[in-house]
Structure 1
Amino acid sequence: MKFDLHTHHFRCGHADGNIRDYVEAGIAAGLSVIGISDHTPYFGNPEEHPFPHIAMAKKEFANYVEEVLKLKQEYEGKIDVLLGIESDFFPAHAETYRQVLSQYPFDYIIGSVHSVNEVSIFNKRRWKGLSEKQRIADKQSYYELIQQSARSGMFQILGHIDAMKGNYPAFSDIPAAEAIDETLQVIAENGVAIEINTSGKTKLSGGWYPSDSILERALHFGVDVTFGSDAHTPKRVADEWEDVAKRLKEIGFDEWVYYKNKQRVAVPL
């Protein structure tokens, strides 16, 4: 059974295609389940649309939900369309996000850390001139935010948990084994899944998020895993699904999960 829980569309300002395009791409790829999970608006910012090339406008949020729910009905029996969302995690605004998101019937919510110390994790310049000590501190801050997101109770899935390597491959070599292990323990204790996200190929790091070494530790701690292409164009829906399934079995996983009505559904590998 094939599924893909992480897809975007034009409303976020940096993806191509409409939601129907992704659903049709899912059918063409042989998916049984496709999750639509575009970026939330910036609910912690007073402006209507502060970052038009990063996330949707607040006024579009209800329209997004309505469109997914209509497509869910339309495609019933052909493919299971799930209503998801990818939410940023900002501790200072977590309650605002929680209150807004609780008003809608999401099948699942992906929690993603995209900013550390108010700088994008994908900003290549953030690392310039930093000492080894400062790089370690930034990596630890990243994983502390992921731990907080796991403890928040807001999310069923955590997105791309080593994506800070995306435009800075040397991130993986910054020593932080204890922080990663502690993070995986917290994730396991809070019953949250992590995604294998194949969009790393679109960044300088290449490969998937997270690395095999993190997946091996995730298995050790009993962390659930799921799949997300993080497609920003319909042609990437289900990208490398078979390769990921094969690698997970080699690591030792025997199942992965998806969420419907916020309930865990296990799928044998």
Structure 2
Amino acid sequence: MFIDYHTHHARCGHAVGELEEYVKKGIEIGLAQIGLSDHMPLLHVDPATYLPEMAMPMEELPRYVEECLALKEKYKGQIDVRVGLEGDYIEGCEEQIERIVKAYPWDYVIGSVHFLGEWDITDFRQTAGWEGKNKLAVYEQYYDAVMKAAATGFYDYIGHIDVIKRFGFKPDEDVTHLENAALEAVKKHGLAIELNASGLRTPVKEMFPSRRMLDYAYELGIPLTIGSDAHQPERLGQYLEEARAALKEVGYTQLATFNCRKIMLIDF
């Protein structure tokens, strides 16, 4: 079973390609399921005065869902389209996030932490934010947010759980206890995680999560899905063979899929 549950599209502003292009590309490369999972609109910063091309405008959200549902029907029998959302966890915005999660017929919602306050730690334009900061304190803040996201009940799985490492900024101190606590929170609240292969094309040159975290996730019995985090149609499925091989080495034999917010494990 070949699946890709993490994709982005032109509507979010920092990806290229229309939704239908991704679906057609998925058929071309032999995906059985494709998850359309664009970014939730920004809630805690003003898109007009923040940085451009961060996420889809709020007025586009219903149109995004309508287009996803139309493609799901149009390509039925050729590829199974799953309608998703990468729903940022923003501390203090829980009520707004919950309204979005409940307003639409999602197949799944990814819980991802990109922002610490108004700082997007995943944005290459904002790496200067690390300057003068205690890296361990940043990691503590990040993993605290991941644990809070897991506890909300809004999400089906946690996306790129250790993305804080993306640009290679790491504390001198060991952060195993922080990573383990985040995975234990995922387990406690009955969520899955993803193996996000896009880390291989970032400065850290490592998938999200690391092999050590994968091993611990397997030990805890956490279900796992897989995604390329493609922001261009030609990157759909990128590095997923490497990701599948890594999962098999760890011991995983099944992947998590989602339909109407319900999880189903499939052999791969």
The match for 2:229 is 230
In structure 1, distance between residues paired with 2:75 and 2:170: 42
Matched positions, count:
265
Specify the SS of the correspondent of 1:92.
Answer: coil
Pairing 1:58–2:58 present = yes
The question of whether the paired residues in 1 share the 8 Å contact of 2:136 and 2:171 is answered with no
Moved more, 200-209 or 220-229: 200-209
- Aligned-residue offset at 1:99: 1.0
The match for 1:194 is 193
- Aligned-residue offset at 1:48: 7.7
The amino acid across from 2:106 in the alignment is F
The match for 2:165 is 165
The amino acid across from 1:41 in the alignment is P
**1:44-95 CA-partner distances (Å, limit 9, x unpaired):** 4566896540101111111100000000000001001111011111120011
In structure 2, distance between residues paired with 1:84 and 1:51: 24
Moved more, 171-180 or 114-123: 171-180
In structure 1, distance between residues paired with 2:20 and 2:173: 41
Pairing 1:116–2:116 present = yes
The question of whether the paired residues in 2 share the 8 Å contact of 1:196 and 1:225 is answered with yes
Q: What are the equivalent positions in structure 2 for 1:80-99 lying under 5 Å apart?
A: 80-99=80-99
Unaligned runs of 5+ residues in structure 1 are none
Q: What are the equivalent positions in structure 2 for 1:1-269 lying under 5 Å apart?
A: 1-45=1-45, 51-122=51-122, 123-130=126-133, 134-167=134-167, 169-171=168-170, 174-269=173-268
Q: Which runs of 4+ in 1 moved over 6 A?
A: 46-49
The question of whether the paired residues in 1 share the 8 Å contact of 2:198 and 2:239 is answered with no
Unaligned runs of 5+ residues in structure 2 are none
TM-score, normalised relative to structure 2: 0.94
Q: CA RMSD in A?
A: 1.7
- Aligned-residue offset at 1:173: 5.6
In structure 1, distance between residues paired with 2:49 and 2:108: 24
Moved more, 251-260 or 147-156: 251-260
Specify the SS of the correspondent of 1:84.
Answer: strand
Specify the SS of the correspondent of 1:213.
Answer: helix
The question of whether the paired residues in 1 share the 8 Å contact of 2:191 and 2:222 is answered with yes
The amino acid across from 1:219 in the alignment is Y
Specify the SS of the correspondent of 1:171.
Answer: coil
- Aligned-residue offset at 1:117: 4.0
